[in-house]
């Protein structure tokens, strides 16, 4: 495994999970003038799997350029992206509280897929993997959904929920990687780092 990597992610959970693996890392975040959100735009007809893998690779390419532009010491860069899909429909981060209510209403009483793609690379090498997990939500009443949205937790989260937060009270079943649902599948990431190292 690499002795040190850069993590190009604003997610505090991803940083905590890397620390859990014992991976020394430093954040490599976008500058204010970078349009990081535009990388997450969905292409019409694109499958959720193709989408999450493409976005992760674009984020990695942007981060490697950032590393070189800043003249930082060379080291591999790790990027990840998580998306929630119900069938072929992608549920990204909610635009506002009403969007979060709409998403959670659709996921209520359903089983959806959480896809987390992970990529690590340098200017000359790249390794990528993807974790897929099934998450089943119990039926949620409108008042339960609104109370959860009012907590503020859904904002900035794919599918408008955090598995490690208050939404756990409504998740009746998980099949797959719990840490993948959080945003960084530890088993797959460890295997990726071994291959890369």
* Residues carrying an active site annotation: 81
Cα separation, 53 vs 86, in Å, equals 17
Report the 10 Å Cβ neighbour count for 97.
15
Cα separation, 144 vs 197, in Å, equals 46
Cα–Cα–Cα angle for 180, 36, 129, rounded to 5 degrees: 30
Reading the block at residue 98, the tokens are: 């009403």
Reading the block at residue 195, the tokens are: 């291959």
Cα separation, 60 vs 66, in Å, equals 10
Report the 10 Å Cβ neighbour count for 8.
23
Cα separation, 156 vs 145, in Å, equals 16
Reading the block at residue 130, the tokens are: 């993807």
């Amino acid at each position: 495994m690499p002795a040190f990597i850069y993590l190009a992610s604003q997610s505090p959970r991803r940083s905590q999970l890397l620390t859990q693996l014992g991976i020394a890392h430093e954040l490599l975040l976008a500058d204010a003038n970078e349009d990081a959100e535009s990388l997450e735009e969905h292409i019409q007809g694109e499958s959720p799997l193709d989408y999450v893998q493409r976005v992760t690779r674009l984020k990695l390419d942007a981060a490697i350029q950032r590393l070189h532009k800043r003249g930082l010491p060379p080291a591999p860069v790790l990027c990840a992206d998580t998306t929630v899909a119900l069938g072929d429909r992608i549920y990204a981060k909610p635009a506002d509280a009403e969007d979060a209510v709409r998403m959670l209403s659709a996921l209520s009483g359903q089983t959806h897929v959480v896809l987390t793609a992970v990529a690590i690379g340098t200017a000359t090498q790249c390794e990528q993997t993807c974790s897929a997990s099934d998450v089943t939500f119990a039926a949620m009443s409108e008042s339960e959904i609104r109370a959860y949205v009012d907590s503020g937790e859904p904002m900035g989260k794919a599918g408008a929920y955090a598995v490690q937060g208050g939404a756990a009270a409504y998740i009746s079943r998980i099949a797959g990687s719990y840490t993948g649902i959080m945003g960084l599948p530890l088993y797959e990431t460890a295997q990726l780092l071994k291959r890369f190292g």
